[in-house]
Chain A
Amino acid sequence: MQLKPQLSKLFKFCALVCLLFVMTGCRFNMRDQPRYEALEGSAFFEDGRASRQMIEDTVARDNLRTDEHFYTGQIDGVPVETFPFPVTKEVLTRGQQRFDIFCAPCHGRIGDGNGMIVQRGFKQPFSFHIDRLRDASPGYFYGAITNGFGAMPIYATRIPPEDRWAIVAYIKALQLSQNAALADVPETELENLENQ
């Protein structure tokens, strides 16, 4: 079929206008590509999750946790008395930050067991400043974070081991600070205090 020249022009013009519409925002295929994002749902796996869980009795690379002291806070089932690495100022600052995020909601900023969630009806934990807990070893605290403690949830999935030790170090520092006697204050500072 032969179109008249004018008609053919009109036809081309219409086609162009139609093409313009295509440009207005076609957002299908490339927007959702055949790959999974983290935590996306999946029709392929039975449990409907794209993020797979560890297969039982397997160890991920770099996850062979042979250092008992560092990973469990126990040696032969007894909570350790020492830290697996030196406690520096950086460790304490990190510990304070993580304590305020994860522990303060229940244990309070100073560890008195009077955090916001407790005020809203959660079981009240003991203050960290009673004698029993002041004498408790770092391994004991590490164990509570790693395995949970009674009503308290397990934090092992959210806090990596380095941070758990940092939190323990900070709790130990809190206990010292809340129990400081006047005799512990250095002499130079004491003068400052007396002048006030």
Chain B
Amino acid sequence: MSRQVFLHPIANTIAKLLILGIVGGAVGLTVFSMLVARSPLMAQVDIAPVQPVPFSHEHHVDGLGLVCRYCHVYVEDSAFAGVPQTEICVGCHSQVWADSPTLAPVLDSYKANESLEWNRVYDLPDYVYFNHSIHINKGVACVSCHGQVNEMPIVRKQSTLHMDWCLDCHRNREDNIRPRSEVFDMHWEAPEDLEALRQRLVEDYHVDVEQFNITDCSICHR
């Protein structure tokens, strides 16, 4: 059988390259968009949202020495940390900076008994179960998950909240706990005998690494 040659022999190579390019391009594009979809950028890490009032944690926490629990009252006892009612702001701002225009939305909301609408910074998908109280009571600090909130003029996300982020810590949870009394301390310095301390805490708080597997799917997807 004789081969029919219509064109220059290089055409075959071009055709092969073309096919390779199309297939490779498609796969590459897929991988690329997967990477983008899972990037910290898409998860809005380190991007400050626009809030109705430029509430500054830096000012109130480091500047005035307020403790997280003054405003996030339920964080130790419930799943939800809670965002303060405007009543709490007004407790101080009835007198301090009361006629500042930046604070007007807060005072208006209080007077009209209407909610002030903050934009969520950390928001898990609805199919994930999360609970603050267990983490706080087992000695996981705010700063481990939310970063140095005390230095932020506007709260920015410091973690992707992706599944691998949760799992990374759950697999090495004994390396991420500290004494319960230091959980709220944003400037905690680990003591020298950290290893011994952690070993003791793992026992005291019953963080049973062998017995109880918190990487099982049903822990977070209930």
Q: Are chains A and B native binding partners rather than an unrelated pairing?
A: yes
Binding site for B on A (CB under 8 A): 17, 20-21, 23-25, 27, 30-33, 35, 37-39, 41, 47-49, 100-102, 105, 116-117, 120-123, 151, 153, 157-158
| Smallest CB separation, A74 vs chain B (Å) | 23
CB of B33 within 8 A of CB of A21, answer yes
**B209 in the interface (beta carbon within 8 A):** no
Give the A-B pair count, Cβ closer than 8 A: 78
CB of B37 within 8 A of CB of A25, answer yes
Residues of A within 8 A of B94 (CB): 151, 153
Closest to B92 in A: A117
If A21-B33, A32-B125, A153-B90 are given as contacts, then 9 extra A-B residue pairs at C-beta distance below 8 Å, sorted by A number, are A23-B34, A24-B30, A24-B33, A25-B38, A33-B126, A33-B127, A39-B82, A47-B114, A153-B87
Residues of A within 8 A of B42 (CB): 25
Given contacts A25-B38, A48-B115, A105-B70, contact A158 B127 (CB under 8 A): no
Instruction: Name 12 interchain pairs, CB-CB below 8 A, sorted by A.
Output: A21-B30, A23-B34, A24-B37, A25-B42, A38-B82, A39-B82, A41-B117, A105-B66, A116-B64, A117-B64, A120-B96, A158-B73
Chain B interface, number of residues (Cβ within 8 angstroms) = 33
CB contact between A25 and one of B34, B70, B95, B117 (< 8 Å): that residue: B34
CB of B127 within 8 A of CB of A122, answer no
Residues of B within 8 A of A157 (CB): 85, 87
CB contact between B96 and one of A24, A39, A117 (< 8 Å): that residue: A117
CB of A30 within 8 A of CB of B126, answer yes
Closest to B91 in A: A153
Residues of A within 8 A of B92 (CB): 117, 122, 153
Residues of B within 8 A of A27 (CB): 125
Chain B, residues 24-36, CB within 8 Å of chain A (1/0): the string is: 0011001001100
Given contacts A101-B69, A105-B65, contact A121 B95 (CB under 8 A): yes
Q: How far is the CA of A157 from the CA of B83 in the complex (A)?
A: 14
Q: How far is the CA of A41 from the CA of B114 in the complex (A)?
A: 11
